[in-house]
Structure 1
């Protein structure tokens, strides 16, 4: 597997070859910033456009620049086949997730951790097309749930609360209507009727004998 220095050396040779070609251009596109949730599998998207046909000559190199600074570290290399890192912090975690025939040079970082905070650089070479400026992604790992998970949780709580409120209201309304019906069907006594004689004539059908 090539080191970062070897990858840069290969790029310099491609640049020299490009000087003898009339059309030599390639562009790399990445998200400038990415927020990843701790412990999740995070896709680092990198796409490219090239004026030359994409084939077996294409080379893709992913580098990592720690927040603490220092030399860029090669974490993934692709040339005809994918060559993940065999040691270091990204061993078994930086895996191929792209498709060169669709101009996709993306990789996946499995189980991303706070120690993975830093800058990820995507370098694409498709001789005779070359690209000196690499695509950069500033990755920040956070300890919080995704927005979709928060939305689902809030939706479940909201629906549950609304259902409970409706049940309580229905019960209270039922009790109120039942008590009102019982109150209306209760006949008045003779004494009550006598007391209200001056207010409203009594209905003798409702008076107890």
Structure 2
């Protein structure tokens, strides 16, 4: 009886967990934050870099709050904090820690962009940058995404030698196949013309032989009889 009771309790817990998951699934999929496909970006010291961030919500948003934070091995700080009143309002800043940072986001045309521009880069700016969004309309549901910035002395040139070699080989093979196809058609055309000319020569030669030998149907048959 004890084993059956334990199985019943386990089944009840499993069902309750599954139902809770089904309830929370739409919420977990509603608010999304993205910093693009690249997880790490590189920038040269002394230049500027755009740190992208966009958000989306299936349920819309009101008084949406957002943050950008910086995290390195020994430092953590909030760079900016702002709010988006509704879908018709542009993001507005409430806090900015660094004057080198400019909010370039907009909600126009449903872009929901809260990207930032970081100017006059320093090597100490290398680290993790996290874009975080909280939507009160979704019971303060929060989502975030992180991008890694590496500030370098100069950008390394990508060696495309192997790629160029592969493209050259593939292009050469395709060109050779096209040449062979064209040459094949040209040879077939020449052979066809040669056969036609040979056939005409045979017909012409056959007519000349009949005339010279005085065979029936030739001009020799039309000569008048010799008078005695």
Give the TM-score taking structure 2 as reference length.
Answer: 0.47
Determine if the alignment matches structure 1 residue 62 to structure 2 residue 57: no
Determine if the alignment matches structure 1 residue 41 to structure 2 residue 44: no
Q: Which of 110, 113, 129 does residue 119 from structure 2 map onto?
A: 110
Q: Which of 72, 80, 83 does residue 76 from structure 1 map onto?
A: 80
SS at match of 1:128: helix
Could you tell me how far 1:51 is from its partner in structure 2?
1.3
Map 1:126-205 onto structure 2 (within 5 A).
126-129=135-138, 130-144=140-154
Structure 2, unmatched stretches of 5+, are: 1-22, 85-91, 158-228
Take 2:156 and 2:95, find their aligned partners in 1: how far apart are those partners? Answer: 28
Map 1:6-25 onto structure 2 (within 5 A).
23-24=26-27, 25=30
Larger radius of gyration: 2
Could you tell me how far 1:53 is from its partner in structure 2?
2.0
Q: Is 1:58–1:126's contact at 8 Å kept on the other side of the alignment? A: yes
SS at match of 2:124: helix
Query: Which whole-Å deviations, capped at 9, do the CAs of 1:116-146 have from their partners, x for residues lacking one?
Result: 0000000012222355442001100011258
Give the TM-score taking structure 1 as reference length.
Answer: 0.51
1:206 counterpart residue number: none
Determine if the alignment matches structure 1 residue 27 to structure 2 residue 37: no
Take 1:94 and 1:131, find their aligned partners in 2: how far apart are those partners? Answer: 26
**Relative contact order higher in (CA < 8 Å, ≥ 6 apart):** 1
2:185 counterpart residue number: none
Could you tell me how far 1:77 is from its partner in structure 2?
0.7
Q: Pairwise CA RMSD of aligned residues? A: 2.8
Could you tell me how far 1:21 is from its partner in structure 2?
9.3
1:85 counterpart residue number: 96
Q: Is 1:37–1:146's contact at 8 Å kept on the other side of the alignment? A: no
Take 2:151 and 2:24, find their aligned partners in 1: how far apart are those partners? Answer: 43
SS at match of 2:71: strand
